[in-house]
Amino acid sequence: MRQAVMTAPGVIAYRELPKPEPGSGELLLKIMRIGVCGSDIHVNHGLHPYTKYPVVQGHEVSGRVERLGPGTRGFAVGDRVTFMPQVYCGTCLPCRTGRYNICDSLKVMGFQTTGAASEYFAVAADKCLKFPESLSFEAGAMIEPLAVAVHALGRLGDLSGTRLVVYGAGPIGNLVAQSALGLGAAEVIATDTSDYRLSLASSCGVRHVVNPKNEDMDAAILKLYGPDRADAALECVGVEATMTQAILSARKGSAIVVVGVFGALPKVDLGLVQDRELSLVGTLMYRREDYERAIALVAEGKVKLDPLMSAHFPFDRYKEAYDFIDANRERSMKVFIDVS
């Protein structure tokens, strides 16, 4: 079988390997789709702080069960599955208390261990989740980023009837906004400086969209939500300007979930966090229940993924996917590698 290896930033080579044997408790998957995400793009540019080369990418994945390893239960050959790409120790305090997404020695397939960029991939069955026939393989590969959104929202507890602001309408911001509504939020304001991304959010059912280039953000929140403002905000960009805005516009006593990955150290007004008794809440990856909720949201039609699917590239033209993304920054939401 063929495997794609990034040997250096921006360089992808292919190597021929024997088809893996599924070990005890493992499934052998025939890989169908791989989604390319922001972290992969950082690896492509040599800007990911925790990835060394050579690296086999592929952590947003869908496939079919090809063979069952000894002792696997609950799966059958032909099942459509995706998997959780985390590798965790199981013994540290976070792992012992069920929070393996923040394991002290967390590794992620496609970054610090081998990802699924190959025709077949053997993976522990207990990291795999089935998804129904009604979901495309593209949708299956998008369960991973959707689970990121679901987990981030879970950090706020029950969302029923809440009004939220989501800063950033890129792939993760869009999924956060849609999932919030799917999980019971009453209203969501999505913000972005790209009208294209805002129009996508609208077409996915997010009613309030604000472009801070054209409209004062704080005034827009007051206009839409009144003096009580939003119940919580989620920062999904990872830059100083949006974090500053989120703090400035937050209702006293409310929470801001920090979803965006900050490349540079932001300078923000912690005096306001103190004085207004704000909560800054971190979020990392997901757990099994987030994957299950993500699959249900798509299966129930509460989250639309089709509008976010930007382009496809065949497995032997992996590099062209990155060239496309670099050339279409704003308009590429989710780009897929069609492995089979």
Is 89 among the residues that bind Zn ion (CB under 5 A)? yes
Q: Which residues contact 166 (CB under 8 A, 6 or more apart)?
A: 173, 176, 177, 180, 188, 189, 190, 191, 233, 234, 236
Is 37 among the residues that bind Zn ion (CB under 5 A)? yes
Q: Of the ranges 35-43, 113-121, 237-245, 285-293, which one interacts with Zn ion (CB under 5 A)?
A: 35-43
Q: Of the ranges 44-52, 101-109, 112-120, 305-313, which one interacts with Zn ion (CB under 5 A)?
A: 101-109
The radius of gyration of the chain from alpha carbons, rounded to an integer in Å, stands at 20
Q: How far is CA 190 from CA 106, 204, 305, in A?
A: 31, 11, 17
Is 129 among the residues that bind Zn ion (CB under 5 A)? no
- By CB under 5 A, name the one of 1, 92, 224, 239 that touches Zn ion: 92
Q: Are 250 and 226 in contact (CB under 8 A)?
A: no
In this complex, which beta carbon is closest to Zn ion, that of residue 69 or of residue 140? 140
Is 88 among the residues that bind Zn ion (CB under 5 A)? yes
Q: State in angstroms the smallest separation of the CB of 36 from Zn ion.
A: 8
- Answer left, alpha or beta for residue 81, where phi above 0 means left and psi between -120 and 50 means alpha: beta
Q: Of the ranges 42-50, 82-90, 192-200, 229-237, which one interacts with Zn ion (CB under 5 A)?
A: 82-90
Is 87 among the residues that bind Zn ion (CB under 5 A)? no
Q: State in angstroms the smallest separation of the CB of 290 from Zn ion.
A: 14
Is 55 among the residues that bind Zn ion (CB under 5 A)? no
Exposure of 121 by Cβ count < 10 A (0-12 exposed, 13-18 middle, 19+ buried)? Answer: buried
Token pair in block for residue 22: 């599924």
CB atoms within 10 A of CB 96: 11
Q: How many residues bind Zn ion (CB under 5 A)?
A: 6
Q: State in angstroms the smallest separation of the CB of 302 from Zn ion.
A: 21
- By CB under 5 A, name the one of 29, 55, 95, 109 that touches Zn ion: 95
Q: Which residues bind Zn ion (CB under 5 A)?
A: 37, 88-89, 92, 95, 103
